[in-house]
Homo-oligomer: A and B are copies of this chain.
Amino acid sequence: MKILDNIRVVLVEPIFGGNIGSVCRAMNNNGITDLAIVNPRPTTDWDDARKLACNAKAQLDARKEFKTLKEALADCTVVAGSSARTGFYRDTAHSPRQFAPIALNSAKDHKIALVFGREDKGLLNEELALCTHIIQIPSSEQYTSLNLSHAVMVCCYELFTAAEVFQPSEEKAEEANSELRERMFATWREMMIQTEFTHEQKLEHMMMGLRRIFSRGKLTVPDVKILMGLAKQSIWAATQGKESREL
């Protein structure tokens, strides 16, 4: 999808190879593939990166490397820097959810970037100055420091969700219509009588309760068949019991 292709994730001087690999996986889960690394460290453990990238190894190998953040951002319009702290240049922050429509609006026609700093020091002020937006990920006041790949995951997830590519799976079985539902309730009513579950005067009250229970979600045709079959069997068993008592 073109709009997601226009989103670049930029990591500035990441320390741990494992985090780079986890970032690739998080990006890939959200259909985002353009990864740039600014000033990669010679000490980077690329084996660890490949291990944690899992099925996103191709993407790790396709990464672009830049000497400076400025070069990594040159072709980008909207540039969002992630920051846990507030203060200088950070006074007005957007949450990833607030930022998503801004980003996607630009990504329709232009490359945009999400920038993440070092695991220990984040982004420097001169790096944040290159950003048009500051993103602050909601977190507990007691513990605001996110793992790098978790921060990337949340931002990519918000963009992916806002792009509305994904639809959660829905119940495929046909929904039961009123006629079928009422036949089922009639059977259950009969079961309550035959099993001597309740006094006659409480019967309608019980039926109202049952109707509430079975109306809480979408009741499908297979659901009704199970429920009706169960009630019929129970009526049969109760009748058998009565007959044997009457013998």
State which of B52, B147, B173 has its C-beta within 8 Å of the C-beta of A26: B147
Report which residue of A138, A139, A144 has the largest number of chain B beta carbons within 10 angstroms of its beta carbon: A138
Instruction: Give the chain B neighbours of A139 by CB distance below 8 A.
Output: 29-30, 160, 166
Contact between B150 and A25, CB atoms less than 8 A apart: yes
CA distance A140 to B4 in the complex (A): 11
Q: Which one, A85-93, A121-129, A224-232, A235-243, is touching chain B?
A: A85-93
Chain B residue numbers with a CB within 8 Å of A161 are: 95, 97, 138
Cα separation A160 to B52 with both chains bound (whole Å): 27
How many copies of the shown chain assemble into the complex? Answer: 2
Interface string of A1-39 (1 = CB under 8 A from B): 000000000000000000000100110111100000000
Q: Mark A64-98, 1 if CB is under 8 A from B, else 0.
A: 00000000000000000000001000111111011
Nearest CB of chain B from residue A62's CB, rounded to whole Å: 14
Roughly how many angstroms separate A97 CA and B28 CA in the complex, as a whole number? 20
Pairwise interchain contact B170-A29, C-beta atoms closer than 8 A = no
Which has the most chain B C-beta neighbours within 10 Å: A147, A150, A153?
A150
Q: Are B166 and A138 in contact (CB under 8 A)?
A: yes
A30 and B140 contacting across the interface, CB-CB below 8 Å = yes
Other A-B pairs, 17, CB within 8 Å; known A25-B146, A31-B142: A28-B143, A29-B140, A29-B146, A30-B140, A54-B145, A91-B169, A91-B171, A98-B168, A138-B157, A138-B166, A140-B160, A140-B166, A150-B150, A150-B153, A153-B153, A154-B154, A154-B157
